[in-house]
Amino acid sequence: MGESGARDTEEVDRDALADFLLARRERLQPGDVGLSTGARRRTPGLRREEVAQLAAMSTDYYTRLEQRRGPQPSVQILASLARALRLSPDERDYLHRVSGHSAPDRALFTDYVHPGMLRVLDRLDDTPAFIVSVLDEVLVQNDPAKALLGDASALEGLDRSGIHRWFVDVAGERRRYPEADHDHRSRVLVASLRAAYGVMGEKSRAGDIVRALTVQSPEFAALWEVHEVRRRFDDHKVLIHPEIGEIEVDCQALFTEDESQTLVVLTAAPGTDSASKLELLRVIGTQRV
């Protein structure tokens, strides 16, 4: 993730930004964000390097922000900090404003992750789980999910959307699903995108995806013309891991109140071959088998 970005016309209130970051950092304990407590701490809250780790940025960059000498943070950096510090929507808006940016429109999709969802995800370390947007963009995932589905953190632009990748990167994205399930998943993804498009409007990331895929994928264009609208998750599916093979999982979905984000938890029936495979993935993490 870059650690600088285009500036808004407003200037950064460096004092307010630094004081706010320090106060929010001191408010959190390691257990609040899924970290081990470790040795006795001399100061309250999280360490700077822990916040930097959670926000996927360098410790030096974060330290400069707290020391009132950093550059203006980009909106992407602010989204990462809001997630790392478990900020409420009001706190997230304040962070943007003191950083010289307009507060994000809450009616549209942002990279902000609901702190309640994050608290639940922090406690799920033995089974694949991730938080996803209405555009099938993985916002955060635990290690078992990375081992099963791949690390989504490096994806950028429209490719952050699993919907976009499904129709553009056909060979890569569809290899994780049995071929017999491809048509069904195509219909589900397009119907979900239609529902998001209705909420977010033409001039949104949903609209960008629709325009791109209409040109790039005849399959998508044909399905889009069906006008099916449905936000849904399959409660059972088969996934294919490149080394371990097919894994049957049950999918449990927890939605935010506005249904803009979903926590998806994948489990397998106890005693089954799929349960053993998930346990193997948990043990090896993201290493190759």
CB 75 within 8 A of CB 1: no
Tokens coding 34: 């899924």
- DSSP letter assigned to residue 237: E
Q: pTM here?
A: 0.71
Whether the per-residue pLDDT at 39 is higher than 70: the answer is: no
Structure tokens at 104: 């994000």
Classified by CATH at the fold level, domain 14-98 comes out as 434 Repressor (Amino-terminal Domain) (1.10.260)
At residue 256, does pLDDT exceed 50?
yes
Looking at the predicted structure, is the pLDDT value of residue 99 above 70? yes
- Can you give the pLDDT at residue 286? 52
Given a contact cutoff of 8 angstroms between Cβ atoms, the answer to whether 215 and 254 are in contact is no
Contact 238, 177 (CB under 8 A): yes
CATH 3.30.450.180 fits 115-284, yes or no: yes
Q: Which two tokens stand for residue 256?
A: 């935010």
Residue 1, pLDDT score? 44
Structure confidence at residue 38 (pLDDT) = 66
Extents of the domains making up the chain: 14-98, 115-284
Contacts of 101 (CB under 8 A, 6+ apart): 8, 10, 75, 78
Provide the token pair at 119: 């608290």
Q: Select the more confidently predicted residue: 108 or 97.
A: 97
**Cβ atoms of 267 and 274 closer than 8 Å:** no
Residue located via tokens 């009132």 = 68
Structure tokens at 10: 């407003």
Output the pLDDT for position 4: 41
pLDDT in tens, 180-235: 999 999 999 999 999 989 888 888 899 999 999 999 999 999 999 999 988 776 78
What does the pLDDT average to over 105-125?
A: 78
Q: Return the pLDDT at 189.
A: 95
Q: Please determine, for residue 3, whether its predicted confidence score (pLDDT) is greater than 60.
A: no
Q: Is the pLDDT of residue 268 over 50?
A: yes
Place of tokens 């407590």: 37
* DSSP secondary structure string for all residues of 147-203: HHH---TT--GGGGBHHHHHHHSHHHHGGGS-GGGHHHHHHHHHHHHHHHHHHH-SS
Same fold yes or no, 14-98 and 115-284: no
More confident residue, 115 or 37: 115
